[in-house]
Amino acid sequence: MIRPALLALVLAFPLAACATLPRAADTAIFPGIHYEQGEAPGPAHIHVVSIDLTRPGIAFALTEGDHSKGMEHVAKLTSAYLAERHAQVAINASYFLPFKGGSKGGDDYYPHVGDPVNVSGPEIARGKTVSPVEVDLDDRVDSMLCFHRARAVIVDGQQCPAGYVDGVAAGPRLLEGGKAKTSALDYATDTHPRTAFGISADRRRAWIVLADGRQADSKGMTLADLAELFRKLGASDAINLDGGGSSTLAVEGADGKPRLLNSAIHTGVPGRERPVANHILLFAPHRHLGGGPQ
């Protein structure tokens, strides 16, 4: 559990106000799941979800494929998919194509909700291949984040270990065995909104980290700074997911409706959520999992 004082020490900045917390008096937003908000140099607003992987009932899942329009997925808002699957936490996952950023505040972007898209690199959901291994791969993609209910692992390449039924390709990898991985890509060294996932060496704890960016009061983070944050949180392995305007952290509110905890930015508009190809879902033990993993 990451308490406010600890996260403030990790980030070396005071905590921001937690007005966006579903339960403002308690960072335990669901059993085994805690949320903190802080500041980092850049500047950047940081959102950290800490997950106790030993808590009975914790489970991860990925967006299942939808080939109805001729591609691997149809685009959906992260918040909408959280509600559809009755999950408690959801984030965006893979890089995807086709993609067009659109004009500032306009509707000339792609994809809209319901438009067909393919993800970059492999994806499996409930043991079924959604997207295959690729030869001509996005140069940011170098590793896989894999799940089997509450078990999580990050591996190099495009294949999950045996026994993992959900997995998504992403990158660059941030940490391996507690050591930072370096990347010369401009994408890595520039500041951007970020979505990332980390795991402790004993695989008993995981962290979801989002950094708001491209906004007046929050520019985003470099991948090196993101890796250092994960290392200080206690992660041994960490992976960068799709970021930029795709970065979205949604949770189920006390009223059962989805809420955004981060300040998403799409077409240059803070608070506007982008439709994305796929998502990582997290289910909490005290909720009905009728729409979750079986």
C-alpha to C-alpha distance for 261 and 36, rounded to whole angstroms: 10
**203: Cβ–Cβ under 8 A, 6 or more apart, which residues?**
53, 151, 152, 153
Exposed, middle or buried by CB within 10 Å (0-12, 13-18, 19+), for 84?
Answer: middle
With pLDDT > 70 as the criterion, what percentage of the chain qualifies?
Answer: 88
> With left for phi above 0 and alpha for psi between -120 and 50, is residue 28 left, alpha or beta?
beta
- Over residues 247-261, the mean pLDDT reads 95
| pLDDT band of 24, cuts 50, 70, 90 | very low
The answer on pLDDT for 148 being more than 70 is: yes
| pLDDT band of 145, cuts 50, 70, 90 | very high
C-alpha to C-alpha distance for 253 and 136, rounded to whole angstroms: 41
The answer on pLDDT for 114 being more than 50 is: yes
| pLDDT band of 176, cuts 50, 70, 90 | very high
- Cβ atoms of 144 and 133 closer than 8 Å: no
- What's the pLDDT score for residue 117? 98
- What's the pLDDT score for residue 287? 55
Q: What's the order of all strands across the beta sheet hosting 116-119?
A: 73-74, 116-119, 96-97
- What's the pLDDT score for residue 185? 84
What sections of 144-211 are H helices per DSSP? 186-189
C-alpha to C-alpha distance for 31 and 287, rounded to whole angstroms: 10
- Residue 7 φ/ψ, nearest 5 degrees: -65, -35
Torsion angle in degrees (nearest 10) through CA of 18, 187, 181, 47: 10
The answer on pLDDT for 144 being more than 80 is: yes
Q: Which two tokens stand for residue 204?
A: 């008993």
Q: Which two tokens stand for residue 162?
A: 């045996």
- What's the pLDDT score for residue 289? 38
Kindly list the distances between the CA atom of residue 227 and the CA atoms of 59, 89, 104, 175, in Å, as whole numbers in the listed order: 25, 22, 31, 6
Give the count of beta carbons closer than 10 Å to the beta carbon of residue 116.
17
Give the count of beta carbons closer than 10 Å to the beta carbon of residue 294.
7
The answer on pLDDT for 217 being more than 80 is: yes
- Over residues 76-104, the mean pLDDT reads 98
- Over residues 219-241, the mean pLDDT reads 97
- Global pTM value: 0.90
**What are the residues facing 250 on neighbouring strands?**
90, 260
